[in-house]
Structure 1
Amino acid sequence: MFNLVIFGPPGAGKGTQSEKIIDKYNLVHLSTGDMFRSHITNDTELGKKVKEILADGKLVPDSITISMLEEEVQKNPNAKGFIFDGFPRTVPQAEALDAFLEGKGFKVDLVLQLDVTQDVIKARIAERQKVSGRADDDAEKLLKRIDEYFDKTIHVLPYYQNQGKVTTINGVGEIETIFGQISEAIDAKY
C-alpha cells in the first residue's frame, strides 16, 4: 500500500493534482475538506459542529478530524493506497496518522509539498470562488486559512523532513508540467 500526503496552502493545486494522481496511480483520495463539506451538506451533527468551526476560520479539532479519516480508510480495505489531502495540519495529527497507519502495517511513503507564493494563492482562489462559490473561499475566511497554514500547518513539514519523506514541487506553472514532477517523485518511491 502506497500512502501519500499532498501538502500546501489553500489554492496550491492539491485538488487538481490529486485528481491526476488518482487517475494514474489508482489511489483513494481522502480530503478532509471534502469530508467536512459532505457532513455539512448532509446536516449531520458532526457537520453542524464543523460548519460552526469553519465559519470562524478555525481548524477542526484533531479528535474529530482523525476519527473521520480513520473511518474513511476503513471503508476502503482493498485500496492500493491513499492520498491524504488537507491532513495532517498539525504535528499531533501527523503523529496520529503515523500511529494509525503503523497499526495497520503501513506508513506514509511520500509527502509532496506544493510550493506556491501567497500572491498566486490569492489569485487562484479568487478565480475558484467565481466558479465554485465555496464558502471557505470567502476573502476574509481565506486570509484566516492562509494565515493558519503559514502560522501552524507549515510546521508539519519538518516532522516529515526528519523522516526523509518530503519532496518539494514548484506549484506554479502548467498543470501538466507540475504533474510530471509529481509523477517522478511518486515513481521514485512507489
Structure 2
Amino acid sequence: MRIVLVGPPGAGKGTQAAYLAKNLSIPHISTGDLFRANISQGTDLGRQAKSFMDAGNLVPDEVTIAMALDRMAQPDAENGFLLDGFPRNVFQAEALDKALTADGLHLDAVLDLEVDEDEVVKRIAGRRVCRNDSSHVFHVTYSPPKKPGVCDDCGGELYQRDDDSEETVRTRLEVYHTQTEPIIDHYREQGLVVTISALGKVAEVTKRAMAALEEGGRAA
C-alpha cells in the first residue's frame, strides 16, 4: 500500500506511522528522517537543505520533494510506503501525484488522524522532559511523574520545552490549518481520504486505522 498520513501536531502521527508501517510491512518515510539522513550522509540534497536550515530558513519545496522521491525509489519501497510529514502542502501533493502517475503508480489512501485543538494543546503543553536525558518524557495528566517536577528515572529536573508552550502549539496549529490541511481536500476530491479519531490508547487507534484502511475510502 502507498499511504500518506496526515493530522495536526500532537495527533500521534509518528507513533501510529511506526506501528502501521510494521503491520503493513512497508517503510515509514518521515520528512525529519529524510533531512537527518541526507545531511549526515553529505548528499547534494543534504548540503542544500543544511544551507537553508543553517540560515534559519525553511527548506524549499523542491529540495524536500526531491528527497522524498529519491527515498520512495529505493528497493524497500517497491511494494509501498507510508509517508509522514510529506506532502506538507498542496504544491508538494501535486508534485507527488505527478511523479507517481509518471511511474504508473498511485496512492491507495490518505489517513487523516482527527483530534480537536483543545486536546492537541493538552497533549503537547502537558509534556515535561528531563533535563538530564531528553528520552525521559512525562505528561502532567497522562503519565505524571511520581513526584511533580522530578524525573522518575534519574531524579533530574523536568521542564517544559519552549516549543511545547501553549502559545507555540497554537501557532503550529495555525500553520497546519493554513498550509497542510488543504491537502486533505485535495485528496478528498480523489476519493482517497480515510478519517479516523486519534483519541484513545495507541493500540486502539492503530486497530481503528488498520480497519479503516482495509475498508478503504470510507470514514471510520
- Normalized against structure 2, the TM-score is what? 0.73
Q: How many residues align?
A: 185
Match of 2:154 in 1: none
Amino acid at match of 2:7: G
Shift of 1:52: 4.1
Rg: which structure is higher? Answer: 2
Shift of 1:126: 3.9
Alpha-carbon spacing, 1:119–1:51, altered in 2? closer, same or farther (3 Å)? farther
Amino acid at match of 2:193: V
Shift of 1:36: 2.2
1:25-174 to structure 2, matched below 5 A, reads 25-39=24-38, 44-52=46-54, 58=58, 60-76=59-75, 79-126=78-125, 130=129, 131-132=134-135, 137=163, 139=165, 142-174=169-201
Match of 1:20 in 2: 19
Unaligned runs of 5+ in 1: none
Alpha-carbon spacing, 1:46–1:160, altered in 2? closer, same or farther (3 Å)? same
Q: 1:66, 1:96 within 8 Å by CA — same for their partners in 2?
A: yes
CA distance in 1, matches of 2:38, 2:174: 25
Shift of 1:6: 0.4
Match of 2:145 in 1: none
Which structure has greater helix proportion? Answer: 1
Deviations 1:151-174 (A, max 9, x none): 221111111111111011111111
CA distance in 1, matches of 2:215, 2:182: 25
CA distance in 2, matches of 1:22, 1:77: 12
Alpha-carbon spacing, 1:3–1:78, altered in 2? closer, same or farther (3 Å)? closer
Q: 1:136, 1:142 within 8 Å by CA — same for their partners in 2?
A: no
User: Higher mean Cα deviation, 73-82 or 2-11?
Assistant: 73-82
CA distance in 2, matches of 1:91, 1:182: 24
CA distance in 1, matches of 2:74, 2:162: 27
Shift of 1:118: 2.0
Alpha-carbon spacing, 1:40–1:51, altered in 2? closer, same or farther (3 Å)? farther
Unaligned runs of 5+ in 2: 138-160
Alpha-carbon spacing, 1:114–1:78, altered in 2? closer, same or farther (3 Å)? closer
Match of 2:209 in 1: 182
User: Percent identity of the aligned residues?
Assistant: 37
Shift of 1:48: 2.1
User: Higher mean Cα deviation, 14-23 or 75-84?
Assistant: 75-84
User: Higher mean Cα deviation, 42-51 or 84-93?
Assistant: 42-51
- Normalized against structure 1, the TM-score is what? 0.83
